[in-house]
Each structure stands twice: as C-alpha cells, then as structure tokens.
Amino acid sequence: MQPQIVKVKCPNPQCGRVVSVKRPDKPGKYKLTCPGCGIKISLEVPQASPVAPAGAAGPQPPHGPQVPNNALQPPRETRGDFIVNKPARIQCAFGCGYIHNETPQRKGTNLFLCPQCKGKTSYEARDVTVKRLSGEFQPFRGKLTMLRRGWFNKEFRLNAGSNIVGRYDSNPSGTSDIAISDDPSMSRRSIDIRVEHTDMNGYMFQLRVLRATNPVLVNHEPLMPGESFALNFGDSIILGKTQFRFDKDV
C-alpha cells in the first residue's frame, strides 16, 4: 500500500509554500519546518476512523468527539500581545484547540479562519513600541549587578558602545559580552545595552531586546524583541530566571 501524503500550506503570507510530507503513523500534533522561509508549521494528525470489516452492515461511528462547525458564528476575539511583522502563535477563540501560526502584516484588527472548526478568530496587532524613561545623561558609569540569592552578587561593568547580554555559548562566535552560564532559560543574545559617552555630558544607557525565549522584564514590564528602554540607576532587569539591577559604577 502506498504511503499517504499530507499537504500543508505555510501560514506565512509572504511564503505560502505547500509542503508535502508522509502522514505520520500515530495521531497527534507535529511540528514541520517550511523549507521556503523556515517558519514552524503545526500539523495535527487525527485518530483514524475504524475500518468496517467485510460484510458489516452500516457505517461505523466516527472515533472521538466531533468538532462543531462554527462557520455561521460571529467572529470571536482571542487575547494576546501580537506585534506587526513578528511571528505569533494564535489560539482559536472557539476552544477547538487549533493553534494558528501567523505573522501579522498590519496594525489593528486581524482575522483568521480556523481550518478545524471554521470559526473566525479576531486579534489585535500593534506596532513595535519604543519605551523610554528620561533618556538623560548621567555623570557616572554603569554596571549590571546580578542578584544571587544565598550567594555574593556578581557585577558586570558596562563599556562604551554595545554590551550584549545573554546565555553562555561554548562557540566563541556566538557568545555574548556578558555571558551567564547557569540559566538555560535565557537566550544566547538576549539584550544589548548601548552606552553613549561624551566628556561634556557623561553617560546615557539604552537597553534594546534582541531575542527572548522568555519575556524580558524591565521593572516587571515585558519588552518584546525590537523594543528599547532608557535605563535609570536602580532599574530591575529580568532575563530568563536571572535578575539584574542597573547600578552606578563608582
């Protein structure tokens, strides 16, 4: 018997490539990588319906719960922080369990049609925002103090220019300027703290999120990749499970 082939369309509107794969033997949820753009594609394989034995009378009942058809229902909104041009995982608002992978292309209300229950889910997308405090020059140099419960705190001086902070990587080309070796939940290159310095004005410190497996928290407010924040002394920064304090270096 020839293997069954499943075709899945890439959800990236800028790609749209159709990926053909052999149908997995076991039901469940699988992840595919689009060969065109590299985005992750969700593939859900349902439990196969039982095959009627020869001579059996009537059709066999379907296996498992039936998914309702919500095509005639008005759109429902799903909650989340969705950003224009940033890949997102959006859950069907009708509760059928389908996860939609999409990169919002415009600010405001967006819709997607669930291929599983046919319901229309709406979500709000926003532009990348730049968050700032005062952005004033300071007369002191700055440093990051890593707060370690039960241990002595560890300090990292911030030099003029770029200071990449992230998880330690054994590959020298991938490691950060400030590399943390004991927090696997932190991205390898998580944030960049740029230090601007002039003899006349002093120092200014700007944090920008590069990549974050877990949200970057500044003063307990989440920042998304691409967002930035002008640091003031005393600010709290959380990367993964590690907490830093931005201090004066005197």
Q: Is the pLDDT of residue 54 over 70?
A: no
Summarize the confidence of residues 173-197 as an average pLDDT. 89
Give the Cα separation of 101 and 10 in Å (integer). Answer: 9
pLDDT for residue 57:
47
Q: Kindly provide the residue ranges of all beta strands, DSSP E only, lying in 86-235, ordered along the sequence.
A: 88-91, 99-102, 108-113, 120-126, 141-147, 154-157, 161-167, 178-180, 191-198, 202-209, 216-218, 221-223, 228-230
More confident residue, 20 or 49: 20
- The answer to whether 123 and 114 are in contact (CB under 8 A) is no
Residue 138 is given by DSSP the state B
pLDDT bin (cut points 50, 70, 90) of residue 61 is: very low
pLDDT for residue 113:
93
More confident residue, 2 or 150: 150
Average pLDDT, whole number, for the chain? Answer: 83
Give the Cα separation of 13 and 105 in Å (integer). Answer: 9
Give the Cα separation of 195 and 250 in Å (integer). Answer: 16
pLDDT for residue 49:
53
> How confident is the model over 16-27, as pLDDT tens digits?
778 777 777 788
- The answer to whether 89 and 99 are in contact (CB under 8 A) is yes
The domains of the chain, with CATH numbers, are 5-44+68-126 (no CATH), 141-249 (2.60.200.20)
Tell me the one-letter amino acid at 170: S
Q: Is the pLDDT of residue 237 over 60?
A: yes
pLDDT for residue 63:
52
Give the Cα separation of 47 and 114 in Å (integer). Answer: 19
Summarize the confidence of residues 63-74 as an average pLDDT. 80
Most confident of 1-10, 35-44, 135-144: 135-144
pTM above 0.75, yes or no: no
> What percentage of the chain exceeds 90 in pLDDT?
36
Of 22-26, 104-108, 234-238, which range is least confident?
Answer: 22-26
